[in-house]
């Protein structure tokens, strides 16, 4: 087992076609980055990672409990409730893992408006440094402890879908409890 597999090295060496080695940082600020595409991480885990784990357990057991213990109704109602619960859980997982818009590499362009002293990078307009994540986020909206990281340009749509899925799940379960 090498040092990277032990977790003692934070960078991963990538062999390129010319034989040169390129380093991709696995840790950026307080974020852990995985599965890179075009030198940007597709999956990130935030500094408050225990909260999403706790919430996913609550969502799974809550969906199961509501769906199979409370309802003594037709199978169609159970299927509708289970599908809305599955949609809620999947949208949450995507939101919690998707890259939120980390300003991952220094950008050389004329429309940059400032420099982040902490990240030592140029920031595009609308990029804000999050003190919790300790990184600059493009299109920063807010830091959400329930998904364990920021909501930004990269996961804003997924976050909105998750909120909509939660609303649909709540309404469906409320209606089914009244039946």
DSSP 123-157: E-TT-EEETTTTEEETT--EEETTTTEEE-TTTHH
Q: Which positions ≥6 away from 10 have C-beta within 8 Å?
A: 25, 26, 27
- How do residues 169-179 score in pLDDT, each as one tens digit? 999 888 877 77
Q: Which helix (H) or strand (E) holds 94?
A: helix 75-97
Q: Distances from the Cα of 103 to the Cαs of 32, 45, 123, 134, in angstroms?
A: 14, 15, 7, 11
Q: Give the model's pLDDT for residue 3.
A: 39
Q: Which domain holds residue 75?
A: 3-178
- How far apart CA 69 and CA 122 sit, in angstroms, is 54
Model pLDDT, residue 146: 92
Ranges of the chain with pLDDT below 70 = 1-25, 69-73, 104-113
What is the per-residue pLDDT for 86? 93
Question: pLDDT value at position 5?
Answer: 39
Between strands 21-25 and 27-28, the pairing is: unpaired
Q: Which of 24, 36, 26 is nearest to 6 (CA)?
A: 26
The confidence score (pLDDT) of residue 113 equals 58
* Overall number of domains in the chain: 1
């Amino acid at each position: 087992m090498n040092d990277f597999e032990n977790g003692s090295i934070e960078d991963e060496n990538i062999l390129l076609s010319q034989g040169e080695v390129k380093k991709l940082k696995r840790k950026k600020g307080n974020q852990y980055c995985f599965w890179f595409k075009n030198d940007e991480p597709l999956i990130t885990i935030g500094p408050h990672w225990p909260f999403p784990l706790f919430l996913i357990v609550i969502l799974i057991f809550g969906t199961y409990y509501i769906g199979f213990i409370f309802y003594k109704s037709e199978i169609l109602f159970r299927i509708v409730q289970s599908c809305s619960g599955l949609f809620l859980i999947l949208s949450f997982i995507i939101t919690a893992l998707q890259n939120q818009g980390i300003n991952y590499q220094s950008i050389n362009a004329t429309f940059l408006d400032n420099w982040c002293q902490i990240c030592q990078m140029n920031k595009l307009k609308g990029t804000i440094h999050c003190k919790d994540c300790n990184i600059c986020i493009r299109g920063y909206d807010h830091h959400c402890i329930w998904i364990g990281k920021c909501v930004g340009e990269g996961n804003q749509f997924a976050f909105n879908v998750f909120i909509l899925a939660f609303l649909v799940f709540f309404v469906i379960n409320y209606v089914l409890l009244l039946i």
